[in-house]
Structure 1
Amino acid sequence: MFQSFDSDNDPTKGAARAASLRAELAARGLDGFLVPRADAHQGEYVPPSEARLQWLTGFAGSAGIAVVLSARAAIFVDGRYTIQVREQVDTDVFEPKHLIETPPAEWLKAVLNPGAKLGFDPTLHTVSAVRRLEKACKAAGAELVAVENNPIDAVWEDRPQPPVGAVALHPLEFSGEGASSKITRIAEDVAAAGADVAVLTQPDSIAWLFNIRGSDVEHTPLPLSFALLPAEGRPTLFIDARKLTNSVRDYLSAFCDISAPEGLLSDIAELGKQGRRVMLDPDWTGEAIARAARQAGGTIVETADPVLLPKAIKNEAEIDGARSAHLRDGAAFTRFLAWFDRMVHEVELDEIAVAEALEGFRGETGRLKEISFDTISAAGPHAAIPHYRVSRQSSLKIPGNSLFLIDSGAQYEDGTTDITRTIAVGDVPEEQKRHFTLVLKGHIAIATALFPAGTTGAQLDTLARHALWAAGYDFDHGTGHGVGSYLSVHEGPQRIAKTGTVPLKAGMILSNEPGYYKTGSHGIRIENLELVREAVPVKGGDRNMHRFEALTLAPIDLRLVVKDLLSPAEVDWLNTYHARVLAEVGPLVDSGTREWLEQATRPI
């Protein structure tokens, strides 16, 4: 099993750990400290050795920050985790706050005392975040103080060792472009931006650029590393040498220099001394890196990570790989759905048993490298927690006459998958069927959208919510995130969300996953991955339009569809999609599953 169901989150430890941290802060003359979920790479995926927020508070979500002051503490999470944070954290010690409604900087502005010294680790906060925090501290008459050694590490007695996962090569048949070619064209972008060198801090950018994959974090093949990409000359990869076999080292040495991660800041300082113009992404680069260049006399060129957009626009090899991976995954997932429909009435299933079964079906493909995230296997009220993670302590038996939500994905060498289905168990209340159909209408609205060049995810996001809004409902997460090619299941810069400002381009892959969540009752989400296709003419129109191609191939539960709430066009989309699922997946499954699939994809 790639997924563990053990949980070491213990809210009862929060008080003692907060007290230990406060004692350490007092010894350093600090009145408070910021504890982000991030590591030095500022990404979503962190190894156990960097999980400081979880160690301190018990919160295991993928985004958040705690502020520990001498007399109070708070933890800030977004709308995905407002329920989860109260279950995992001692709320008598850490006050839960909504990250968007009450940003940490605004809260600090209101609660910091004049003259207070608020500590932070500059390797763990981005340049942009530090600006906001400095502004808040100044408004309160307080001081933001950078620390050299993180005080959490001083009191974390059993802190795990940093990972040294082996690095593997990503073959040309899957990458579609050699590393030297990628380096040449990205270096041209660095020069065009007026910079001498770019600092790359995101491991997925580095993995894509150098055509390597790693194993330093769960579920995502990331080699934790940094890189310097000059406008002219050889790049430098900063990576622990223990991760490299001789063959991988020989491959990398052909086009880049290899150095230890500990040398990054000194090399950046040397660039500063030489008066170089250093490009960095202020939203993804740690403040420590910017300071090293700035204090040595370098000039900072702030712009987006130059790898983000090229990585997001998949080439033909990556697109072909995505289609193959999703067809394979669709067959495995369809076998799982047929199994679930049979077994849920024959034995007493729980959330863990279901997650284990799904991973087993994917494993039987013989191509599964990993799952792409911890499966969200959620029965009844647990489905109302958008990012619920089942553990041995939380696992529920699946009740009858209810909804079951499963959100999961796989890592194959040719592609990354992510799919959510909401399944009827017995006779589901009519209200829940209505909610499901409203979510389905939003899903179809995205799936059928035509949009001109320059359209952003924010412009499309409303389509997914329109039917829900009309009924007085909404959901507190984005409609869609980007997805990598045997990389991160959450990839930027593209997204379909209220904050999605990046224009969508042909070759991008995004999720389409509207939802609805009723706390304590049920949750619904329907998710396919979609490929942005090249813009083509529309009959009678005068502008070419992009459209989406559904990559995900698995049935949507017709037992939950209220047909009268769908328009004829929406019914046609559902029937057409299901006909495609039957035609493409049907030949890949056994006869029993095929029989089930024929019924599950019948026209309505």
Structure 2
Amino acid sequence: MSDRLLAALRAQMESCGVDAYIAPNSDFHASEYIGEAFKTVRFLTGFTGTTATLVVLPDRAALWTDEGYFLQAKQELSGSGITLFHTGHSDSPTVADYLKEGMPADGLLAGDGRTLTARQALELLDSLGGQARFLDRDLAGELWKDRPPLPNAPVWVLSERYAGEPAEKKLAWLREQVAARADAHLIATLDDIAWLLNLRGGDIAYNPVALAYLAVLPDRALLFIDPAKLDAQVRAHLDRLGVEVLPYEAAQETVEQVLSGKRVLLMPERVGYAFYLRLEAAKAQIIEGENPSILRKSVKNAVQLEHLRQAHQKDGVAVTKLLCWLKTGMEGGHPTEAQIAEKLDTLRLGQEGCLGPSFITISGFGAHGAIVHYHVTPESDVPVEPDGLLLLDSGGQYLEGTTDLTRTVVIGSATAEQKRCFTLVLQGMLNLSAAVFPIGVCGRHLDVLARGPLWSNGLDYGHGTGHGIGSLLCVHEPPIGFNWRITARNDTAPFAPGMVVSDEPGVYLPGRFGVRLENQLACREAETDGFLRFETLTLAPIDLDAVDPSLLDARGREQLNAYHKRVYEQIGPFLTEEEQHWLREATRPI
């Protein structure tokens, strides 16, 4: 299939005089998760991972993806003839190096300028020596005859009861921030728009956002969105905010007209190159900078934090019910990975206020657990039979907030090696959650606390130890995280009270098993002035059948026992008598 499509794409390239074609796995908003209509990389190659960049030359093609999707890409691209590269690895060429070697210095690079960000395009063209030209044309889209339409899920207003702050106040704050630097601010990032306006939608699976652009000026704000998504309540809400509604497809042309000659603040990493070209043509002065809303959004207010604690309690009940079922015989059967994922999703949806999962549930047994972002398919689905480890990574979208947690569960019995790996991961997770640190510290400074026990035993993992998390928004939210690797993609903002982040170390032995444990942490002030600490929000038992107590230090054992005491006290009252009995034993002191 990919051979035929790539041949057709190359024919398109030749007819247009194009020397290279680039297709990032992105929508028009640089979203991490994208709708079906934007999955061009999957259409051309069959690769289903989230992170990818495809480059097609007249005689060859290559795809870049990160460590978390590399094994998956290796399997899905097998036999395609597409060369696979690690993003950011020293043994792999960069996209720019590959293009430089494969096209003339003054060659023509083509791509969809809506999905290629301004930063990506500008850096690529600069790396190619400044003589290369760019053709803004969706050649792949012209081949995609049965391309799905853009989503049109209804938009709704998030009550201030859950948002904790009126949208009027957020817009006033944003205008103050922008006024010091620019005449206008162009926002393409969907979760920033949703947060600013207290709106939620359903255009991207698992992410309650709507496809839209927002231009904010001192005396007006323009929201570019499909008006069919807006009911009377939403329109009245936007009217109160003084926000004008214009068609989604009119965004580029209108922005070019309205912002002509103005100083425009935009984030080139999140705005499409097509907008950048339009603004340049309109003689606008482009001021590059981060969206002010990104940092402000990451600091949850007191209302959001209290609701998030409630969401985690509900989530913990659902997960604990599933763990009890798994550990007490699974009703005498051997369910498959997919059946377990479906049962967990059903239990979660049974909790009041749950709108659905926050991402595709990862249910990986045995060797599948070693694939970091494994997604079970009908072809890969296997029964969960003794003996082995089952890795479950899941989360929910609640009116009260967004959750994300991982538990690795012993099915049958665990080997000494599996217990060793599990306990080292557990020790790392506990180390990080207990951190006390001065104001100004970033996640990259703390990452070693989680990795230290693994490093001491010659083990490591390729993904970050954690990521920021939205509030009824995206499960991955900048600008915080834990990752010692210094790259442009790292989230490097210092921690502040109210920020919420995941703590998820792991070990992955390809072809054998994987271990990951994940809790969510809320940053808060420590008892000592000038210092911060974390509060663990997640409430679900850790499988003691996988723990080797001799490998935990005394502090780790105390932490685990104290955590399990909290889990039993806060989750137990919502369980059946049988489930309570199981949980009491599952959270026993060690």
Report the TM range for the smaller structure's normalisation.
over 0.9
Match of 1:336, as an amino acid?
Answer: L
Aligned to 1:270: 257
Describe the superposition over 1:293-323 as per-residue Cα deviations: whole angstroms up to 9, x where unpaired: 1221111111101111111100111111100
Q: 1:492 aligns with which of 478, 481, 487?
A: 478
Is 1:89 the counterpart of 2:77 in the alignment? yes
Is 1:160 the counterpart of 2:151 in the alignment? no
Larger mean CA deviation between 425-434 and 86-95 belongs to 86-95
Aligned to 1:196: 183
Matches for 1:241-320 after TM superposition, within 5 Å: 241-255=227-241, 256-273=243-260, 275-320=261-306
CA–CA separation in structure 1 for the residues paired with 2:163 and 2:259: 34
Q: 2:340 aligns with which of 346, 354, 359?
A: 354
Residue 105 of structure 1, CA deviation: 1.6
Asked if structure 2 preserves the Cα contact closer than 8 Å seen for 1:442 and 1:463, the reply is yes
Residue 27 of structure 1, CA deviation: 1.3
Aligned partner of residue 521 in structure 2, secondary structure:
strand
Is 1:120 the counterpart of 2:111 in the alignment? yes
CA–CA separation in structure 2 for the residues paired with 1:205 and 1:601: 40
Is 1:523 the counterpart of 2:514 in the alignment? yes
Matches for 1:102-501 after TM superposition, within 5 Å: 102=92, 103-138=94-129, 143-147=132-136, 149-192=137-180, 194-230=181-217, 232-255=218-241, 256-273=243-260, 275-344=261-330, 346-498=332-484, 499-501=490-492
TM-score, with normalisation over the residues of structure 1? 0.94
Kindly tell me the number of residue pairs found equivalent between the two proteins. 581
CA–CA separation in structure 2 for the residues paired with 1:151 and 1:514: 41
CA–CA separation in structure 1 for the residues paired with 2:191 and 2:159: 16
CA–CA separation in structure 1 for the residues paired with 2:566 and 2:430: 15
Aligned partner of residue 88 in structure 2, secondary structure:
coil
Residue 452 of structure 1, CA deviation: 1.0
Aligned to 1:8: none
CA–CA separation in structure 2 for the residues paired with 1:311 and 1:535: 22
% identity of equivalent residues: 36
CA–CA separation in structure 2 for the residues paired with 1:345 and 1:430: 28
Residue 132 of structure 1, CA deviation: 2.1
Residue 544 of structure 1, CA deviation: 2.7
Asked if structure 2 preserves the Cα contact closer than 8 Å seen for 1:120 and 1:144, the reply is no
Residue 272 of structure 1, CA deviation: 4.4
Aligned to 1:504: 495
Aligned partner of residue 199 in structure 1, secondary structure:
strand
Match of 1:157, as an amino acid?
Answer: K
Residue 271 of structure 1, CA deviation: 4.0
Structure 1 unaligned spans of 5+: 1-12, 538-542
CA–CA separation in structure 1 for the residues paired with 2:586 and 2:565: 10
Match of 2:198, as an amino acid?
Answer: N
CA–CA separation in structure 1 for the residues paired with 2:331 and 2:437: 44
Match of 1:414, as an amino acid?
Answer: E
Residue 287 of structure 1, CA deviation: 1.3
Describe the superposition over 1:266-301 as per-residue Cα deviations: whole angstroms up to 9, x where unpaired: 23222443x211000121111111221122111111
Describe the superposition over 1:432-465 as per-residue Cα deviations: whole angstroms up to 9, x where unpaired: 1101111111101110001111110111111111
Aligned to 1:26: 14
Larger mean CA deviation between 551-560 and 285-294 belongs to 285-294
CA–CA separation in structure 2 for the residues paired with 1:216 and 1:375: 19
Describe the superposition over 1:79-131 as per-residue Cα deviations: whole angstroms up to 9, x where unpaired: 00110002222443211110111321232233334443221222111222112
Aligned partner of residue 553 in structure 1, secondary structure:
coil
Describe the superposition over 1:17-72 as per-residue Cα deviations: whole angstroms up to 9, x where unpaired: 11111111111111220011011101112111111111111111111110011000
Is 1:556 the counterpart of 2:556 in the alignment? no
Match of 2:438, as an amino acid?
Answer: P
Is 1:17 the counterpart of 2:5 in the alignment? yes
Asked if structure 1 preserves the Cα contact closer than 8 Å seen for 2:19 and 2:103, the reply is no
CA–CA separation in structure 1 for the residues paired with 2:574 and 2:360: 26
Aligned partner of residue 7 in structure 2, secondary structure:
helix
Residue 508 of structure 1, CA deviation: 0.7
Asked if structure 2 preserves the Cα contact closer than 8 Å seen for 1:453 and 1:535, the reply is no
Aligned partner of residue 284 in structure 1, secondary structure:
coil
Match of 2:345, as an amino acid?
Answer: E
Asked if structure 2 preserves the Cα contact closer than 8 Å seen for 1:344 and 1:425, the reply is no
Residue 362 of structure 1, CA deviation: 1.1
Structure 2 unaligned spans of 5+: 485-489
Aligned to 1:6: none
Match of 1:553, as an amino acid?
Answer: L
CA–CA separation in structure 1 for the residues paired with 2:135 and 2:271: 16
Aligned partner of residue 85 in structure 2, secondary structure:
strand
Aligned to 2:533: 547
Aligned to 1:45: 33
Match of 1:176, as an amino acid?
Answer: G
Match of 1:159, as an amino acid?
Answer: R
Describe the superposition over 1:309-367 as per-residue Cα deviations: whole angstroms up to 9, x where unpaired: 11110011111110000001101111110011123482111101101111121122232
Residue 559 of structure 1, CA deviation: 1.1
Aligned partner of residue 533 in structure 1, secondary structure:
strand
Aligned partner of residue 82 in structure 1, secondary structure:
helix
Larger mean CA deviation between 363-372 and 67-76 belongs to 363-372
CA–CA separation in structure 2 for the residues paired with 1:247 and 1:582: 42
Describe the superposition over 1:509-558 as per-residue Cα deviations: whole angstroms up to 9, x where unpaired: 10000001000000010000110012431xxxxx5311111110000111
Aligned to 1:566: 552
CA–CA separation in structure 1 for the residues paired with 2:358 and 2:256: 37
Aligned to 1:9: none
Asked if structure 2 preserves the Cα contact closer than 8 Å seen for 1:409 and 1:416, the reply is yes
Aligned partner of residue 360 in structure 2, secondary structure:
coil
Asked if structure 2 preserves the Cα contact closer than 8 Å seen for 1:14 and 1:93, the reply is no
CA–CA separation in structure 1 for the residues paired with 2:173 and 2:108: 45
Aligned partner of residue 134 in structure 2, secondary structure:
strand
Match of 1:489, as an amino acid?
Answer: V
Match of 2:26, as an amino acid?
Answer: A
Q: 2:51 aligns with which of 63, 66, 71?
A: 63
Aligned partner of residue 426 in structure 2, secondary structure:
helix
CA–CA separation in structure 2 for the residues paired with 1:385 and 1:294: 44
Asked if structure 2 preserves the Cα contact closer than 8 Å seen for 1:14 and 1:89, the reply is no
Aligned partner of residue 432 in structure 2, secondary structure:
helix
C-alpha root-mean-square deviation of aligned residues, in Å?
A: 1.4
Matches for 1:581-592 after TM superposition, within 5 Å: 581-592=567-578
Residue 137 of structure 1, CA deviation: 2.2
Match of 2:99, as an amino acid?
Answer: L
